[in-house]
């Protein structure tokens, strides 16, 4: 009982740390934005941002409004401050990150106050990639990250228990990823109204995320058994999901955790879905590469595990088919005949 209590306490601490630490310690740091305008005005804005929010932004200087908007639409930056036309404008993309969009809106409020002191116009705000009217806070995207991880984990568990053979399990995982992607995208887009863009592209993004999660866990299980399944589940559930940045943005997570989260299927899947739903697929290359890499790793591990299982079965079958060597006849010992006759005589008597 004491061991069980200690183990459960440790599990509680690990779960709380994994899910609460990224949220509590999240902040705006090194978030890429653009500042458009003349060099003197850009320097003035950059200095003001550094004083008000130290280390909050990583600024890319561009010459005009068109260049700034292109960076935002290509998902190279989260927003822009445009001072090229005199009156400041703040360009946001709430679909890329609602939290960062709110931060940029507070920057716009600060610029408006500064303009009011000098008699200038208020800073205008333009949203180049707005969230849908049915889900203006992006709650569906944020809440959908954990169910997709759990679906991939559950699929791997059921396939491991119900299907024999690594190849059949991998085929089943791919088939389920397609149907699961179609179903999940339909719920998020047509019922909840959390997604825009092409339904088929969104379904493909969800399917690729499920396939990468499920197949990587199946591959580890095929290679390492129950230990591999546990390792895959911990990686996806306790590391990948909290560090996905689905509710905020990877750049807002503490330290290196945001970068790590983007290298795992939950983080890459969330970023890919934002690209397909709100940016016409722009900025999706890195996410696709990461997910395909995990999917390929899972398939390779499944094949290796299947080959090892077949080799072991062949060795076992060969051992069972090998006939045992015939036993050599026992040589009669001296006196055996006399004892046999004597024993027969006693029996007859």
Q: What is the DSSP string of 249-302?
A: -GGGSSTTHHHHHHTSHHHHHHHHHHHHHHSTTTT-HHHHHHHHHHHHHHHHHH
Q: Give the bridge partners for 80, in sequence order.
A: 34, 91
Helix (H/G/I), strand (E/B), else coil: 138: coil
How far is Cα 326 from Cα 253, in angstroms, rounded to an integer?
A: 72
In degrees and rounded to multiples of 5, residue 34 shows phi and psi of: -115, 150
Low-confidence ranges of the chain (pLDDT < 70): 118-120, 313, 317-349
Dihedral over Cα of 135, 139, 144, 147: its sign: negative
What lies within 8 Å, CB to CB, of 92 at 6+ separation is 78, 79, 100, 101, 104, 105, 125, 126, 127, 128
Dihedral over Cα of 251, 257, 261, 267: its sign: negative
Structure tokens at 71: 């960076």
Structure tokens at 63: 């010459």
* Kind plus residue range of the DSSP H or E element containing 50: helix 39-52
Whether the predicted model's global pTM rises above the 0.85 cut: no
| pLDDT value of residue 207 | 96
| Distances 198 to 108, 140, 182, 202, 275 between C-alpha atoms, Å | 32, 17, 12, 6, 11
Cα-to-chain-centroid distance, residue 80: 28
Helix (H/G/I), strand (E/B), else coil: 81: strand
Start-to-end C-alpha separation, the chain = 71
Closest CA to 55 of 258, 255, 271: 255
| pLDDT value of residue 332 | 55
């Amino acid at each position: 009982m004491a061991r069980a209590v200690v183990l459960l306490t440790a599990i509680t601490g690990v779960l709380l740390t994994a899910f609460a630490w990224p949220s509590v310690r999240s902040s705006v740091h090194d978030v890429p934005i653009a500042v458009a305008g003349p060099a003197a005005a850009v320097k003035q804005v950059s200095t003001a941002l550094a004083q008000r929010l130290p280390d909050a932004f990583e600024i890319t200087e561009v010459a005009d409004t068109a260049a700034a908007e292109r960076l935002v639409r290509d998902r190279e930056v989260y927003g822009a401050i445009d001072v090229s036309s005199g009156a400041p404008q703040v360009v946001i993309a709430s679909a890329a990150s609602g939290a960062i969009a709110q931060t940029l809106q507070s920057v716009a409020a600060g610029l408006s106050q500064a303009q009011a002191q000098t008699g200038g116009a208020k800073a205008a705000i333009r949203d180049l990639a707005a969230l849908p009217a049915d889900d203006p806070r992006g709650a569906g995207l944020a809440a959908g990250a954990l169910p997709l991880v759990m679906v991939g984990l559950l699929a791997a568990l059921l396939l491991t228990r119900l299907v024999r053979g690594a190849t059949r399990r991998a085929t089943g995982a791919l088939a389920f990823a397609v149907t699961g992607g179609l179903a999940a995208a339909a719920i998020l887009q047509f019922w909840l109204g959390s997604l825009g863009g092409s339904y088929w592209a969104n379904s493909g993004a969800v399917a690729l995320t499920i396939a990468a999660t499920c197949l990587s866990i199946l591959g580890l299980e095929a290679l390492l058994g129950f230990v591999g399944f546990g390792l895959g589940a911990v990686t996806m559930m306790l590391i990948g999901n909290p560090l996905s940045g689905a509710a905020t943005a990877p750049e807002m997570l503490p330290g290196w955790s945001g970068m790590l989260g983007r290298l795992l299927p939950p983080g890459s899947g969330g970023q890919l879905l934002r690209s397909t739903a709100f940016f016409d697929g722009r900025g999706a290359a890195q996410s696709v590469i990461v997910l395909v890499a995990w999917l390929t790793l899972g398939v390779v591990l499944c094949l290796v595990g299947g080959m090892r299982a077949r080799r072991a079965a062949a060795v076992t079958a060969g051992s069972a088919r090998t006939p045992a060597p015939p036993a050599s006849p026992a040589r009669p010992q001296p006196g055996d005949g006399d004892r046999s006759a004597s024993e027969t005589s006693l029996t007859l008597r």
